[in-house]
Amino acid sequence: MIHRDRMRDHFLTLVRIDSLSRKERDVAMHLKDELIRLGAEVTFDQADRMVGGTVGNLIARIPGTRPGVAPFLLCAHMDTVGPGEGITPHVEQDIITSDGSTILGADDKSGIAIICEVLRVIQEEAIPHGEIEVVFTICEETGLQGARHLDVSHLHARTGLVLDSSNPDHLITRAPCANRLQFTVRGLEAHAGVCPEKGINAIRIASEAIAGMRLGRLDEETTANIGIIEGGNAINIIPNALTVQGEARSHDEAKLNAQTEHMIRCFEEAAARHALTLDGVAQRAQVTCQVQRDYDRLFVSEEASIVQLVREAVRALGREITLWRTGGASDANILCAKGLEVANLGTGQQEVHTVREYLRLSEMVRSAELVLETLKRHAGRG
Ligand SMILES: [Zn+2]
């Protein structure tokens, strides 16, 4: 049986240990001790070297007690967004909040607390299980970097659950792929008062490009955004350079490509409208576009064994679950792209990445019950 108060207390301990991205060492050391007490062998990889962090991804293995059961992965991330130092959690009945000056860190320490509680119950009740692999990643919040640098060829499990979303009655099986775009616009510098006809205004070009661009929610599975603009030196200089950064996301690869090309075309067409001749030499605006794949999509089919397994567990608990599609990415995207079959289960975390973040304890318990039942069913399959 899941012990609500024990899990809550562990969660409160975890959020009191600061762990901003790249600074996960303290919480990682706490978790290492905890997992060793739970019978795990704990190692760290060297992902910290790639990201300039204080500790690598934590990888823990609890040997199986029932032979012939395939290894199963449980994953959550150790880092938090800011403001996330000196978190003072407040418990009021079923709800845990911060004091309003920081985030709470339920994203994703609720996932970690759930995994640890499930392992505790398995140990104290001697529930038969296969090998359980636990991965607590670093730097999820800085672009899924920890998972990206995780060498999954060293993992034994090929299927499992990521615990890093809100609703414990939703199983996220689909999340978008995304491109990161950077545009550099080059115009022509000139004194804005003396000879504006000798200038090509890079800000104007970018404005025209963005004004003609499809942005926001484009359809039920595609979104796009321009998020950063930098450029210009003085109000009396026609600006000659500007950078603009944005992103596009879609659950459909073809739609993502189409939107990416559309955004590039908007810049190219805007630049093409701006040219002049200076001392007999043709001058034109220029745009360079850098497109970087941010992450691949999460796509788990309804027939996948992880989905069937969770459904069995849900039925055994007398509940229902909805397969869910999200617009955000998680470590599950990366693990899926690396060939693992993982879905993302909710933990009760809400309003994440804000100082209003909160956790609903009853939902955290629901999530833990489902993870425990899933492991039991998995072991039962043999
Ligand atoms: Zn998260």
pLDDT tens-digit series, residues 316-349 = 999 999 999 999 999 999 999 999 999 999 999 9
- The span from the CA of 338 to the CA of 148, in Å, is 9
CA of 184 to the centre of ligand 1 (A): 31
pLDDT band, very low/low/confident/very high, at 130 (cuts 50, 70, 90): very high
Give me 230's structure tokens.
């930098």
Helices 106-124 and 4-15 cross at an angle (nearest 10°) of 140
Give me 11's structure tokens.
């969660």
Q: Is 269 helix (H, G, I), strand (E, B) or coil?
A: helix
Q: Which of 27, 31, 8 is nearest to 19 (CA)?
A: 27
Task: Judge whether 91 and 8 are in contact, CB under 8 Å.
Answer: yes
CA of 107 to the centre of ligand 1 (A): 5
What pLDDT, on a 0 to 100 scale, did the predictor assign at position 95? 98
CA of 108 to the centre of ligand 1 (A): 5
Cα atoms in the Cβ-side hemisphere of radius 13 Å centred on 62: 28
Beta strands in 106-188 (DSSP E): 132-137, 159-165, 170-175, 177-186
Q: What is the mean pLDDT of residues 83-93?
A: 97
CA of 106 to the centre of ligand 1 (A): 8
Residue for token pair 């039942």 = 373
CA of 41 to the centre of ligand 1 (A): 25
**Mean pLDDT for the chain?**
97
Give me 201's structure tokens.
């205004």
pLDDT tens-digit series, residues 134-167 = 999 999 999 999 999 999 999 999 999 999 999 9
What pLDDT, on a 0 to 100 scale, did the predictor assign at position 34? 98
Q: Beta-carbon neighbour count of residue 25 at 10 Å?
A: 18
pLDDT band, very low/low/confident/very high, at 118 (cuts 50, 70, 90): very high
**Residue 66 burial (10 A CB sphere; 0-12, 13-18, 19+):** middle
CA of 137 to the centre of ligand 1 (A): 10
Q: What are phi and psi of 216, to 5 degrees?
A: 85, -145
What is the largest distance, in Å, between two alpha-carbon atoms of the chain?
Answer: 86
What pLDDT, on a 0 to 100 scale, did the predictor assign at position 381? 74
Q: Is the pLDDT of residue 102 over 70?
A: yes
With a pLDDT cut of 90, the percent of the chain lying above it is 99
Choose the catalytic residue: 117, 140, 294, 331.
Answer: 140
Q: Is 363 a catalytic residue?
A: no
Rounded to an integer, what is the distance from CA 314 to the centroid of its chain? 25
The counts of H helices and E strands in the chain are 10, 22
Task: Judge whether 311 and 374 are in contact, CB under 8 Å.
Answer: no
Give me 182's structure tokens.
């950077």
Residue for token pair 């879609």 = 250
Task: Judge whether 294 and 228 are in contact, CB under 8 Å.
Answer: no
Provide the terminal-to-terminal Cα distance of the chain, rounded to the nearest Å. 22
Q: What is the mean pLDDT of residues 287-306?
A: 96
Q: Is the pLDDT of residue 127 over 80?
A: yes
CA of 330 to the centre of ligand 1 (A): 7
What pLDDT, on a 0 to 100 scale, did the predictor assign at position 69? 95
pLDDT tens-digit series, residues 7-56 = 999 999 999 999 999 999 999 999 999 999 999 999 999 999 999 999 99
CA of 82 to the centre of ligand 1 (A): 12
Q: What are phi and psi of 58, to 5 degrees?
A: -90, 130
Choose the catalytic residue: 24, 48, 79, 108.
Answer: 79
Q: What is the mean pLDDT of residues 341-370?
A: 98
With a pLDDT cut of 70, the percent of the chain lying above it is 100
pLDDT tens-digit series, residues 169-201 = 999 999 999 999 999 999 999 999 999 999 999
Query: pTM for this structure?
Result: 0.91
CA of 22 to the centre of ligand 1 (A): 15
Q: Is 169 a catalytic residue?
A: no
CA of 213 to the centre of ligand 1 (A): 30
CA of 249 to the centre of ligand 1 (A): 18
Task: Judge whether 74 and 38 are in contact, CB under 8 Å.
Answer: no
Q: H/E element holding 363?
A: helix 361-381
Q: Is the pLDDT of residue 382 over 60?
A: no
Give the torsion sign (CA, 53, 326, 244, 181). Answer: positive
